[in-house]
Amino acid sequence: MSTKAAAVSIIMVLLSFSLIACQPRIPKDALALSTESLKDRQLQTRIFETNDEKMLLTASAAVLQDSGYTIEESEVLCGLIVSTRDRDVTEAGGLFCFFCLGAPYEQKQKIFSSLVTRPLDDKRIAVRITFNHMIWNNQGILVKNERINDPEIYQEFFAKLSKSVFLTAHEI
Amino acid sequence: MRKALVVISVLILALNVCACASKQKKILLTQESQVKLRSIQTRVFDTSDRNLMLRTVIATLQDLEFVIDDADETLGTVSATKLKGYVLRITVSVRPRGDKQMIVRSNAQYNLQTVEDPEPYQQFFTALSKALFLEAQRYE
């Protein structure tokens, strides 16, 4: 390689470092309602025939505790409970991969959830729960950060909540 | 030639280092002026119900795929995070103006950047207006 070519390539590499500092801008639709939002809302919401918001929040907190979540924050006046859960997501397959090939595998998951109650009228209250999760691999690198959209998780949660509302209402 | 190359390389590196060093100190710096940012991030709504406004803000954020991190009824603030391969954090504050209006202000951070584009804020207030059945008015 000639000196000139070497010089140009070194300068290009250094300039590219400068450009890396300029990060991509916010996606155009990051704060816009998506066409899926109504469907998501239906999946994440159930309506309860009660006007007792505190009872509903108490029952919800109990379900979160049943499911291994830690309550991080709550604001009864806005009908909010924020909770998180850490989980080991290592699977046998991942360990096998690691020992044979040294390939990274998913190891740790942190789940963030917010549960919100909202009175619709004098007799009905809507409960909506949403989940985000972050997953790190065994090298400590973040490999996933996204919303959890599996319908089964929401169905399971609301099945547990219905039971809990019954138990709470009957002080069991 | 070699000397020139060394000089240019050192200059570019120095520029990068300068940028980092000065950015660390500018923790209150924004690209836009304070007044312009306020006008981009703020809208006024004709309602006197602060609690309903806060609850509607929370519902709107959930519609926009956020998970709520925190809410404070006394202070009138809601903070939330959206994860979609990126991290978008937002804080929305609600405060009364007179007896009949509420001022809603939102500020967002995309990964490590403060969001100063008017468009995402416009989209947020459009979603909030729809949920409230109220029109968002410019803040002056």
- ipTM higher than 0.90? no
In this model, does residue A101 exceed pLDDT 70? no
**How many whole angstroms separate alpha carbon A65 and alpha carbon A75?**
17
And the tokens for B96?
A: 């009364």
What backbone torsions phi and psi does residue A68 show, to the nearest 5 degrees? Answer: 85, 15
> What's the pLDDT band for A2 if we cut at 50, 70, 90?
low
- How far is the alpha carbon of B129 from chain A, nearest alpha carbon, in Å? 12
Of A11, A28, A146, the CB nearest to B84: A146
CA-CA-CA-CA torsion sign (A28, A31, A33, A39): positive
**Residue B99: both structure tokens together:** 């007896």
Report pLDDT for B134: 76
Using alpha carbons, select from A147, A135, A114 the residue that is nearest to residue A36.
A147
Q: Which positions in chain B touch A128 (Cβ < 8 Å)?
A: 59, 62
Which pairs with CB-CB distance under 8 Å and at least 24 residues apart come from A141-149? A141/A104, A143/A104, A143/A106, A144/A106, A145/B83, A145/B84, A145/B85, A145/B86, A145/B87, A146/B83, A146/B84, A146/B85, A147/B65, A147/B67, A147/B82, A147/B83, A147/B84, A148/A111, A149/A40, A149/A43
* Domains within chain B, CATH numbers bracketed: 30-138 (3.30.530.50)
pLDDT at A104 over 90: no
Is B123–A131 a contact, with Cβ atoms under 8 angstroms apart? no
Tell whether the model's pLDDT for residue A111 goes beyond 80. Answer: yes
Q: What is the pLDDT of residue B2?
A: 66
What's the DSSP call for residue B32?
S
Helices B2-25 and A3-20, axial angle in degrees (round to 10): 10
The pLDDT tens digits for A124-165 are 999 999 999 999 999 999 999 999 999 999 999 999 999 999
How much of chain A, in percent, has pLDDT values that exceed 90? 69
8 A C-beta contact, residue A60 and residue A164: yes
Max distance between CA atoms of chain A, in angstroms, equals 85
Residue A87 pLDDT level (bands cut at 50, 70, 90):
very high
> What pLDDT is recorded for position A8?
62
Residue of B5, B43, B65 to mutate, interface with A, max A Cβ within 10 Å: B65
DSSP label of A30: T
Inform me whether the C-beta atom of residue B120 falls under 8 Å from chain A C-beta atoms. Answer: yes
Mean pLDDT across chain A, nearest whole number? Answer: 86
Task: Report chain B (140 residues): mean pLDDT per 10 consecutive residues.
Answer: 66 59 69 86 95 96 96 97 96 96 96 93 96 80
pLDDT value of residue B114: 92
Tell whether B94 is within 8 A of chain A (Cβ).
no
**pTM for this one?**
0.81
What is the CATH superfamily name and number for domain A36-169? Answer: Kinase associated domain 1, KA1 (3.30.310.80)
Distance CA B40, CA A150 (A): 36
Give the pLDDT of residue B3.
Answer: 72
